Amino acid sequence: MHDKRKSRFYFNLLFFVLFAGLLSSCASTHSTQGTLPPGVLSEESASSRQVRAMNQRIVSGALAVRKDSSRDYRIGPDDLLEITVYEDEKLNRTHRVSSQGNITFPLLGILKVKDLAIVELEKEIRDLLAQKYLRDPHVNVFVKEYHSQRISVIGAVEKPNVYSLPGQKTILDLLVLAGGLKEEAGSLLFLIRPASAEKGTSRREEGSNGQEPRTFVIDLEELLVKGDMRLNLPLQNGDVINIPVAGKIFVGGEVKSPGGFLLKGRRMTVSQAITLAGGIKPEAKGSETRIFRHSEKGTGKEILMVNIYDIEKGQNEDPSLKENDIIIVPKSGSKVFFSELWDFVKGRVGGFGLGSL
């Protein structure tokens, strides 16, 4: 009887050990399935970290970089100017800028002040007074009340809106008001300025109403990561800030999860894109994978051949992808690449226009 109990005990112990090992194996298998390789995970987290770093820089930069931006402000109608001439107190007073952009100044009469910077108006008054009335006068102009400026922020920001703001504002100021960047934000900011907002527009020749708006392209990494404050441009009434979403690449054919994937401003290679698509199927012919790409010159389309297997073995370079690239992995023995490409475009990409293939 004692031997039977002992045998049963060892049998139960062996069964428990085997069962625990089976559970551990299942858990390990489950945890690794669908997991992206470390390289892709690091790229993904690096992209998220970069957006967070940019948003932190937006806040800190807007607070810390406070040069006297009012000195760059261009005077507009309805501004209230406080003008001080230190050599003669009788000339010290406030002036409301008329709708035509003028003020009436003692001794000097009507002055056109619209679109002048503060320093330019100070110099003009100083020079005019020095001609007839005062020797080496010192003039200070202070904007006591600003007229409201309307600036639009659109694209991949948390709070796109049209903002009505007093005073001189910069790109960083508006990014703060717009709540910072969304994770899908691209790496470029476009500042679109209507022709009417440019200084000197009123002096253009008659009949030049076909002026094109001016566009400034700002590299957000240079501004927000590297801290190049020369890119933190002062804004003007009517400006539009646009931050497009990051570009996409598309993967189709014999992969497990075909679809489009955001670049998010980061570098993505062919092997990483294939991994994001779940990897290739057993019936795939990875040695004849094609990249469908628009020509940089805009004159047509390019087809690049890559060998996925050689890339995995480290025998070939893992090429970087460009925005709107389409990767097609054909079926083994298949000669219908263009058919597969067209099916993928119709079924997965939707409105992505490729023109005639």
pLDDT, tens digit (0-9, with 9 covering 90-100), for 54-108: 777 776 655 554 444 555 678 888 889 999 999 999 999 999 999 899 999 999 9
Indicate whether 274 belongs to any domain.
yes
Q: Is 310 found in the same domain as 322?
A: yes
- Would you say residue 20 lies in a domain? no
Collect all residues with Cβ–Cβ distance below 8 Å to 181 and sequence separation of at least 6: 51, 54, 55, 58, 156, 157, 158, 175, 220, 243
**CA 173 distance to own-chain centroid:** 15
Domain count within the chain:
3
**90 and 113 assigned to the same domain:** yes
Cβ–Cβ under 8 Å, residues 168 and 76: no
Domain boundaries, position 302? 247-349
To the question of pTM greater than 0.75 for the whole model, the response is no
Q: What is the mean pLDDT of residues 20-24?
A: 40
Residues 60 and 172 in one domain: yes
103 inside domain = yes
Same domain, 55 and 192: yes
The CATH number of the domain holding residue 299 is: 3.10.560.10
Q: What φ, ψ does residue 104 adopt, rounded to 5°?
A: -110, 115
In a domain, 39, yes or no: no
**Band of the pLDDT at 335, cuts 50, 70, 90?**
very low
* Segment 275-284, tens digit of pLDDT: 999 999 988 9
pLDDT in tens, 282-293: 889 999 999 988
Q: How far apart are the C-alpha atoms of 261 and 283, rounded to whole Å?
A: 23
For the segment 317-337, the average pLDDT, to the nearest whole number, is 80
